[in-house]
Amino acid sequence: MLRYLPEHLINQIAAGEVVERPAAVIKELVENSIDAKASNISIAIEDGGQTLIAVVDDGQGMSAKELPLSVTRHATSKLPNDDLSEVRWLGFRGEALPAIGAISHLSLTSRMEGSGSAKFLKVDGGVLGDSGPAALEVGTKVEVRDIFYATPARLKFLKSARAEVMATVDIVYQLSIARPNIAFELQVDGRQRLLYQAQGASDEDLRLNRLRDVMGKEFIENSVKIRTNRNDMGIVGYAGLPTLNKGNTRSQFFFVNGRPVRDKLIFGAVRAVYQDFLARGRYPSVVLFLDVKTSDVDVNVHPSKAEVRFRDPREVRGLIIGALGHALDSEGIRSSSEISNAALSAMHSDTMGVPGTLGVTPNRERLPNLVDTANNFLAHPSSRDMAETQGPGLEEVKSFPLGAALGQVNDTYIIAQTESGLIIVDQHAAHERLLYEQMKIDLEDSGVARQLLLMPEVVELGPERAIQLCSRAPQLAELGLVIEPFGEGAVLVRETPAILGETDSSGLVHQLSEALENFMDTVSLRARLDEVCSTMACHGSVRAGRRLNISEMNALLRQMERTPRSGQCNHGRPTYIDLKLTDIDRLFGRR
């Protein structure tokens, strides 16, 4: 028999959608404080939020008449025109407070400007309790105690107090970045965990200072500013350099019309841009603020409003990919300064307290002497090549970003002198990146040029791999590799990409065959262009252990300077390290 559910049960069902954990409660309460135009928001939790959640703000507050209405379902002040297509507030559905009150001991205290005193109201397990006058400045204080006491079955799904604290910290990160003009404080078990003040005279200063507070100085120094507009949409933010990558997505923050979101479309667009730079399991640090017309985005498609739906998702994806790609390309060879800092720290740690480790006195006026003092490691160029780096020639080349080559370490790392210090280049990683970028350009233009092998090479793969690889022969030909079946379990290599020069055809075919095993038969090689080209570039690049002369080293440096994205290899590792003279001086105790 059909019947209406009791009100308290309806609220508990709503709580299951809105209140999944303490951090979700904090999100709803802080969003209400933001909507109330608060300038200061203080959050306190105990026992990961299970025992106590308290949020205090200095916003507009509520009147005595509004207090009981605020804990009634679908009562809100945030849709004055009853138009869900024009949502301009963070919290708007009128479900949070009644849902929270249905599963906890809830206490509301609020005071509007001009009111003689504050008023309080209590709700216990969805039942209205005491109310009356209270002491509070203008604003609102919400206390939530013993979350899920009215639905004890939900308690077993809570994670550890530590995990719940980290979830709360993430929520505060998101909301504080979204509103840098608001001061935020978080106390955990009576101790201050976070304190962010509103700092800055302009919106840009406020945002930059807040990002420095939340993400650290490292991010500010190693990120690229983004600002793009297209078709009534705009995007601003900061994209971290690929070499500033993390093992998780906690350093990725996305906002749509000021609302923090964890949207799949945006995640996918960011991943598409960085896939050329990062190894699997590594993630960039990115902060993006997307502004679209409110009528072009639906923010009411997820219970916690974490995802949104765009009217034109392809346009949004294109905007994000274009803005991010252009910003990263504009940085050319730039790499994260943290790489150099880590190298210096490691060098400092290794040499501290070891007598005689730094026994060579540096000559700051003539850094090329470092080649002579380190002859156990540097491969000396010929006298002809050395002459190319002396006198005016050296001074002229030093003005380039990557400077003038001096020699090699272990036939693997190029040492170059710049006007401000030293550059150390991983020759294999750098050349691999250059080949990869050139192959992509060739493929988009007129296809990858091929070179005919004087003697076709037979490569044994085994029956299954040979059949799978030959099924991709037309697509591989577009990438410059021409193969054909050769008996059972073998292929014949007739042509290879010209850009690779002399390459190990057998090794290349074997590695490509292994990579293709992870592709579905329906996935085209163009769709996995990054992996295929990366494999080819790896085989054609200058190997570690190959001795180069000074001319070859300088040619590699100049090509890196001309090629966008060459500051990191195809796996997100740096291709070079920049050591400033001032930092080197500190290593030797000169500063």
Assign 289 to helix, strand or coil: strand
Contacts of 115 (CB under 8 A, 6+ apart): 61, 63, 138
Going by C-beta distance under 8 Å and a sequence separation of 6 or more, which residues neighbour residue 584? 362, 421, 422
How far, in Å, CA of 425 to CA of 557, rounded? 9
* pLDDT for res 431: 85
pLDDT of res. 12: 59
Q: Is 151 exposed, middle or buried (0-12, 13-18, 19+ CB in 10 A)?
A: middle
Q: How far is residue 399's CA from residue 291's CA, in Å, rounded to a whole number? A: 41
Sequence-distant (≥ 6) Cβ neighbours of residue 419 within 8 angstroms: 398, 399, 403
- Phi, psi at residue 255, to the nearest 5°? -135, 135
Q: Residue 107 — very low, low, confident or very high, per pLDDT cuts 50/70/90? A: very high
What pLDDT was estimated at residue 502?
A: 77
Phi/psi at 122 (5° precision): -115, 145
Q: Using alpha carbons, select from 298, 370, 133, 338 the residue that is nearest to residue 215.
A: 338
- Residues paired with 192 in a beta bridge: 187
Tell whether the model's pLDDT for residue 2 goes beyond 80: no
Kindly report, residue by residue over 30-49, the tens digit of the pLDDT.
998 998 899 999 999 999 99
DSSP code of residue 176: H
Mean pLDDT throughout 537-565? 79
Neighbours of 34 (CB within 10 A): 20
3-class state of residue 40 by DSSP: strand
Q: Over 80: is that where the pLDDT of 124 sits?
A: yes
Long-range contacts of 468-474 (CB under 8 A, 24+ apart): 468/513, 468/516, 468/517, 469/509, 469/512, 469/513, 469/516, 471/521, 472/516, 472/525
Neighbours of 200 (CB within 10 A): 15
The residue among 536, 545, 477, 472 whose CA lies nearest residue 505 is 536
Cα–Cα separations (whole angstroms), residue 11 to 14, 375, 449? 5, 77, 67
What pLDDT sits at residue 72?
Answer: 80
Q: Is the pLDDT of residue 391 over 60?
A: no
pLDDT tier for residue 547 given thresholds of 50, 70 and 90:
confident
Percentage of the residues of the chain whose pLDDT score is greater than 70: 77
Q: What is the mean pLDDT of residues 330-350?
A: 59
pLDDT at 529 over 50: yes
pLDDT, residue 294, reads 82
Range with the poorest average pLDDT among 190-194, 233-237, 258-262, 521-525: 521-525
DSSP state, residue 423: E
Q: 522: left (phi > 0), else alpha (psi -120 to 50), else beta?
A: alpha
Most confident of 369-373, 383-387, 441-445: 441-445
Q: What is the pTM of this model?
A: 0.72
- Encoding tokens for residue 196? 């962010």
pLDDT at residue number 355: 39
Going by pLDDT thresholds of 50, 70 and 90, the confidence category of residue 425 is: very high
Q: Cα-atom radius of gyration of the chain, to the nearest Å?
A: 31
Supply 321's token pair. 């990919």
353 vs 175: which has the higher pLDDT: 175
One DSSP character per residue, 334-350 reads ---HHHHHHHHHHHHHH
Task: Label each residue of 458-506 as H, E or C.
Answer: EEECCHHHHHHHHHCHHHHHHCCCEEEECCCCEEEEEEEEHHHCCCCHH
Strands 139-145 and 52-57: antiparallel
CB 568 within 8 A of CB 575: yes
Quickly list DSSP for 89-139.
SSS-SS-HHHHHHHTSEEEEEEE-TT-SSEEEEEEETTEEEEEEEE---SE
Please indicate whether residue 135 or residue 76 has the higher confidence score (pLDDT): 135
> Lowest-pLDDT range, 51-60, 252-261, 356-365?
356-365
Q: What contacts 586, CB < 8 A, 6 or more positions away?
A: 344, 348
pLDDT at 54 over 70: yes
Q: With bands split at pLDDT 50, 70 and 90, how would you rate the model's confidence at 75?
A: low
Beta strand 482-485 with 297-298 is: unpaired
* 142 has pLDDT over 90: yes
* DSSP at 263: -
Query: Cα(464)–Cα(489) distance, rounded to whole angstroms?
Result: 7
pLDDT tier for residue 376 given thresholds of 50, 70 and 90: very low
